[in-house]
Amino acid sequence: MGVSIRILILLISGLFSVAGLYSCAAGNKEKPHVIVIGVDGMSPDGIRQAATPVMDKMMEGGAWTLQARCMLPSSSSTNWASMIMGASVSQHGITSNEWERDDHVLPPVVTGSEDIFPTIFGVLRQQRPQAEIGAVYHWEGFGRLFEKSAVNYNVHCDNEIITARTAAQYIMTDKPDFLFIHLDHVDGVGHHFGHGSREYYQSVSRADSLIGLILDATASVGILNNTLFIVTADHGGIGFGHGGETPAEVEIPFILYGRGIKNGHLIKIPVMTYDNAATVAFALGIEVPYAWIGRPLKGAFKGYDEPAVSGNMLLPAEPEIEPDLELYAAGGGLFRGDKPIIRLTHENQKAEIYYTTDGSEPTRSSILYTKPFTAEKTMVLQARAFLEKDSSQVINAPFRIVSEADNPGISYQYFEGGQITSCPGIAGLDKISEGKTAEFSLAGLKHRPEQFAYVMESELTIHLEGEYKFYTRSDDGSRLFVNDQLVVNNDGDHGTEEKSGKVWLKNGSVRLRLEYFNAGGGHYLEVLYRGPGIVKQPLPPHLLRTT
């Protein structure tokens, strides 16, 4: 898909491919150019799973990491700001997508030429008054984050194809010293179809072809070998949204390619999104403001060594678990009737995978995976890969096994109506339908895209007295009541966020009531718990029954 789209775009725009497109000359003393291409919502998983020949070539001939991190909250405004401002949220004050220049709570610690925290655009203009600087962006909100007076070319486009074509034409006409390109379509697909969906991976492939279009434009005017390209993202995603603290939402790609960059260099130091601006400044030879905390990734450049890092930052990759759960990072899921056959794989064939099913952490003394096996009952599979002296993070995959004869243990009521921004507002909505379901989630439930709500009730069997911790992970708001006591308050209009609360429970049945609403954008719901001898997991369906 990505290749055919790219060819179509090239035919429309009149651009042409250049032989040796991905070669890079070393020791170039001509005028440097830097182009940053930010793809909204493009996760490392998207690059791993989608067809991305252009980015693959850039990683093979450049420097890269798929373990860079964005700022919290993992939302767009916060992270595009950090990316161009070289600073954290507490410094620049752009705490959410609701931020506006004339309407915000936290002021920046310092201001630049336009009463906002200084960005790479303003800093470059101040030190290089004659520089050609441009910004071409798909999401209109990006335009409020930088000093428009600092740029020669400032264009907001209606879609990703027009954005890429406009940027390509600007490159061929003006050969900018610095250009920032923002593509928004991947994030839109993630919200509509879900991160990890087939459509999501197709959108990443489309982004890849558009990145190729930008590279071709520099080649067509003879500045390819003098240009540093940085490809990155503002955040990842989980389910239909983002904004939370999970690795799927927080980890982002960071790819450097072109002028002065090492070939096939895996970056082994921590990389944060605010390091982007400092790296651009380093490549262009300008000084960074004292208020910036971002550091240039000098170790990615030829002639520089990576700094020593205490501790082991770059661990082996986690094992992959099949069957995996559509739209989400971990394996597992709900299985009714047929019992799943579990397969564990790893990208490195030399890695050994050890796993447990009893809630304990996998070690080399655990079960060594040698062949596929069947999940006979509800369990949390925990697996870890070992490669020589190093080991990966533990991956958890909760498998919930129920028989065809088991009745769904949760009753629900579905609501629609007017605008809703909090769980108490559900009382003012109209009940549309009711029914039963197996889990506290939206899986298998029919609802409209926005402005809907659910109230779910069940009884949970507790076998061992003790302290239990309950969690809701939701986009937007949710509240969980245990025996009529509010234990988890995750209310409000927000992206995917996890909140928790503790309660002491005795043996027997406890009443659960969940309130959930979606105001707009993405939607997501999951309820988990942990307790004495119980690893964190979704509430097991076989322990739930309707009241």
CA max distance for the chain: 76
Q: Which residue has the higher pLDDT, 309 or 134?
A: 134
CA 416/CA 431 separation, integer angstroms? 7
Mean pLDDT, to the nearest integer, of 454-474? 97
* Summary mean pLDDT of the chain: 91
* pLDDT at residue 521 in the model: 78
The total number of residues written for the chain in this structure = 547
**In 10 A of CB 90, how many CB atoms?**
11
**Residue 349 tokens, joined:** 């064939």
In terms of pLDDT, which residue wins out, 18 or 372?
372
87 pLDDT more than 80? yes
What is the per-residue pLDDT across 441-460, written as a single tens digit (0 to 9) for each? 998 899 998 999 999 999 99
pLDDT higher at 309 or 107: 107
pLDDT at 26 over 60: no
C-alpha to C-alpha distance for 356 and 396, rounded to whole angstroms = 10
Reading the block at residue 37, the tokens are: 């291409």
Q: Does pLDDT of 5 surpass 50?
A: no
Output the six-digit token pair for 402: 């129920």
Q: In this predicted structure, what is the pLDDT of residue 25?
A: 37
pLDDT score recorded for residue 448: 92
> β-strands 33-39, 227-232: how paired?
parallel
- Provide CATH 2.60.120.1560 ranges for the chain: 410-545
| Across 136-150, 217-231, 238-252, 257-271, least confident range | 238-252
- Where do the CATH 3.40.720.10 domains begin and end in the chain? 2-14+30-300
Is 410-545 CATH 3.40.630.40?
A: no
Sequential DSSP letters for 476-534: S-EEEEETTEEEEEE-SS-SSEEEEEEEEE-SEEEEEEEEEEE-SS--EEEEEEEETTE
- What average pLDDT does range 103-109 have in this prediction? 94
Backbone angles phi, psi at 392, to 5 degrees: -80, 175
pLDDT for residue 317: 80
Closest alpha carbon to 427 in 367, 363, 311, 517: 517
pLDDT tens, residue by residue, 320-349: 888 876 655 457 889 988 899 999 999 888
pLDDT reported for residue 393: 87
Mean pLDDT of 162-189: 98
SS3 of residue 56 by DSSP:
helix
Kindly report the backbone phi and psi dihedral angles of residue 253, in degrees, each rounded to the nearest multiple of 5, phi listed first.
-80, 155
Q: Residue 56: which residues within 8 A CB-CB, separation 6 or more?
A: none
pLDDT at 29: 67
Residues 6+ positions from 291 with CB-CB distance below 8 Å: 87, 91, 109, 110, 117, 118
pLDDT at 314: 64
**320-402: which CATH architecture?**
Sandwich (2.60)
Residue 6 has pLDDT above 70, yes or no: no
Question: What is the spatial order of strands in the sheet that 178-183 belongs to?
Answer: 153-156, 133-137, 178-183, 33-39, 227-232, 251-258, 63-69, 265-266
CATH topology of domain 2-14+30-300: Alkaline Phosphatase, subunit A (3.40.720)
Give the mean model confidence (pLDDT) for residues 401-429: 92
| Residue 465 pLDDT > 80 | yes
What is the 3-state secondary structure of 113-181?
CCCCCCCHHHHHHHHCCCCCEEEEECCHHHHHCCCHHHCCEEEECCCHHHHHHHHHHHHHHHCCCEEEE
Residue 76 and residue 41: Cα distance in Å, rounded? 8
Amino acid in the structure at residue 376: E
Residue range 194-249, pLDDT digits in tens: 898 999 999 999 999 999 999 999 999 999 999 999 999 999 998 888 888 888 99
Q: Tell me the C-alpha distance between 232 and 338, whole Å.
A: 41
pTM over 0.95: no
Split at pLDDT 50, 70, 90, the class of 61 is very high
Which residue has 């890079």 as its token pair? Answer: 24
Which of 341, 335, 325, 378 lies closest to 542 in space, CA to CA? 378
